[in-house]
Structure 1
Amino acid sequence: MRTRRTKVSGSHAVYHCMTRTVNGERLFGDREKEILRKMLWQVAEFSGVEILTYCIMSNHFHVLVRVFDGQQVSDVELMRRYKILYPKPTKYQEASAVQMAKTLEAGGEEAACIRQKLRARMGDVSEFMKAVKQRFSVWYNRSHQRYGTLWAERFKSVLVEGKGNPLQTMAAYIDLNPVRAGIVADPKDYRFCGYAEAVAGDPKALAGLVQVWKDYLGQGQSGEAAVSRALKSHRLLIFGKRAAEPCLPEMTRRQALQVLEQEDGCLSKHAILRCRVRYFTDGAIFGSQEFVHGFVGAWQMEKGRKHPPKVNALRGADWGDLSVINSLKRQVFS
């Protein structure tokens, strides 16, 4: 099902997308996570979207993507991207690609139709998520002699301000998923997240992390210096001032929730990011107050609301001026 997304005017937009398995069943072991990880990168390259970070868990996954509008894609690039989806093509798929290339070269109405269909699948976050979920569902069901729907019907998405504190905080929250689940004490030790891939030196994951911290790095840093500072900055956000110590003596989640919910108190940012915070998955628009205010009218029209929504500041920590549209009347922290 195609879902409408609030869009940013300009060259690109950043979205945090999250989707779960049907009934939240824990279906994914290491093999399944590895296949899904590879598919995320494959489909991203085909779609022309940039993965900034991601995390794959046993019953859901998160991905933070930058989507570029109005891409001009040549026929040669169309064919290159198409072949990415089939790294080990069957004879039929190989023959189909050859015929497609010939049709595009010949031009005419049929070539125009092919271009339109392929380009419609690119530069769109809904098409990206649809392709990932469909391709993985086919593989999973075949591999496990399973039939039927694998994913819950819809995926959640939050439009994220694509720079500075909002982008950095969202990326850190996503990378900390395995820590919140009690799987590891340090996300670098969980191989199915963007931060771990970046620490391991994967070029695409490193490029995503540098993009997250681009505004902080400034224009004067590039190459290895930018990578090193981005890694250090991300780790500092995740662990606080004692970032060099992977196993920090943190308060328990129960204590943290008591401070947040019962005492209406505040925690440090690196401590609160170890709780589940619904702002990151259900806030609809996530960014500075100015950024969120800019989408009040568009969100109101999209949802068919009679009255414009309020812009709500995040509570529970020193978030800076981070805000969301959804008020989240139900429990925010868990």
Structure 2
Amino acid sequence: MRTGLIAGSIAAIVAALVSLPLRSPLDNAFNTATVALASLIIGIAAGLVWDKLAASQRRLPYYAGVLVMGLIAVVVIAAVGDIWLERFLSFTAPLAVIAFSVSGVVAANLGRVPLTASRWPAPALLIVAAVIGIGLVGQGDADSGDLSLPEEAVTRSAVESLQYLVGEGSEITFTVGEQLSRLPLPSDAVVRTEALSGGLNFDGQPSEVTVDLLSLSSDQSFRDRYMRDRMFRDFPVAVFTVNDLADLPPEFFSGEIFTRQVTGFLSVNGIEVPLTFDLEVRNDGDVLNVLGRTEFTWDQLQIRTPNIQNIVSVEDKVSVQLLLVAKPK
């Protein structure tokens, strides 16, 4: 058993670290903690198999055969799972190869040597594996909904305009906490789109930004289909309107970043709700950059929280980040 614990702990450490740059199919189910746990189980199993075959004259080939069959079984399961969950195979296969290879080699070599020395290596390695596996959860490739203002232009163009068209470079992200049923680890689902249009007017006329909800995308196609086919099928656009942006500080004309709050009305699902954005604004002359942040709840929009019974539960609060890149008319 001690041989398997050592082998599994080493495999868990290696596999957890290797998993960081890989694209997880689902962060709250496939992360460093679950990778480390699976690798530890494989290592323990490898140690038990090696001990079980102690009396066999063909111990090594039988042992290798069992590990290869185990690896093949995991890869086949991952390939089938890839039909429903993107990146299941590309994430699982290389980690399975590492876990089975490291566990197999370490368990076989340790199994040939009597472990009469100090007993500290097994618990020490197990603690290290647990610290790495649990401590690095949420690190790596997890998608982020954070946006920021583009880099400031080297030289500011002397363009004086009070009317701007929203265009290329604009983006909006929606971030909501979600949790898979029976799993203790929550994660953030991030959906985003660059399909924004509209105009910003600082001359007293209303300003309007339109978001194409059917173009929203995330890191999972099943989530995208749910949004496209069920959530927003009957109301494909959202429109945010502000009646007056004319109250401009001196920083607007000097090109310095300034902050302000703007309250307008969000029209979606056939209703209008008031919404306040915290803004950071920088006017580069020929380009106006606006970064906004706000929150809303599904109840505000009269949209049923998109939970999938017994599979996924979603938090009620949605965080929004909006980057508008607009050019003078």
Give the TM-score of the pair, scaled to structure 1.
0.29
Judging by fraction of residues, say which structure has more helix.
1
Judging by fraction of residues, say which structure has more strand.
2
Larger radius of gyration between Structure 1 and Structure 2: 2
Give the TM-score of the pair, scaled to structure 2.
0.29
